[in-house]
Amino acid sequence: MKRDALKSASTAIGQQPITLDVLKEKYLKDGETSEQDIYRRVARALASVEPEADRALWEQRFFDNLQAGAIGAGRIMSAAGTAIQATLINCFVQPVGDCIQGLDDGGYPGIYEALREAAETMRRGGGVGYDFSRIRPRGAEVKTMASLASGPCSYINVFDQSCATVESA
């Protein structure tokens, strides 16, 4: 549904009080009072990585797109152009390699490196999913240690507890 259709529907039924509450709580930053202020902040932040000579042009293009109905993900609309040290991406899939630390033979981060990266991502407000498929199954031989692997489920529990701890903080 286009934004114009949404605006006319909103006008017909009136703006709900929760709309302004969410805008204030999640998106408006100091000195901002409207969607236009948010759009300008976000457009300026997005354009900031362009060559300096082109920034004004890109800022206007981004602003025009936001005005026309293009809306970034919630993290972008909330944090872009602020001093908040947050990720601007909502969700990540974290690969987990088949080693304890460093990188595995395929170049994937080891279990505890992946856990550290996931905790940092969550601390900055991102959501994380994990790909444990590279971890060898329970009972598989670990030649360098002359032992057997505990399998991905044992590490899934470690990740679960760590994420619960970061989330609660």
Last residue of a domain, one of 79, 102, 128: 79
60 lies in some domain? yes
Say what angle helices 55-68 and 35-47 make with each other, to 10 degrees: 140
Which of 6-10, 23-27, 57-61, 127-131 is predicted most confidently?
A: 57-61
| 61 vs 25: which has the higher pLDDT | 61
Q: How confident is the model at residue 7 (pLDDT cuts 50, 70, 90)?
A: low
Q: How many domains does the chain have?
A: 2
Q: Which residues pair with 109 in a beta bridge?
A: 103
Owning domain of residue 24: 9-79
34 lies in the same domain as 58: yes
3 lies in some domain? no
DSSP conformational letter for 110? P
Q: Report long-range pairs for 58-64 (Cβ below 8 Å, ≥24 apart).
A: 63/39
30 lies in the same domain as 73: yes
> Which pLDDT score, from 0 to 100, does residue 12 have?
53
> Which pLDDT score, from 0 to 100, does residue 1 have?
42
Share of the chain above pLDDT 70, in %: 91
104 lies in the same domain as 69: no
58 lies in the same domain as 114: no
> Which pLDDT score, from 0 to 100, does residue 87 have?
80
85 lies in some domain? no
51 lies in the same domain as 97: no
Question: How many C-beta neighbours within 10 Å does residue 67 have?
Answer: 13
Q: In the chain, where does DSSP find H-type helix? A: 3-13, 17-22, 35-47, 55-68, 74-79, 111-123, 152-168
DSSP conformational letter for 33? -
103 lies in some domain? yes
Predicted model pTM: 0.61
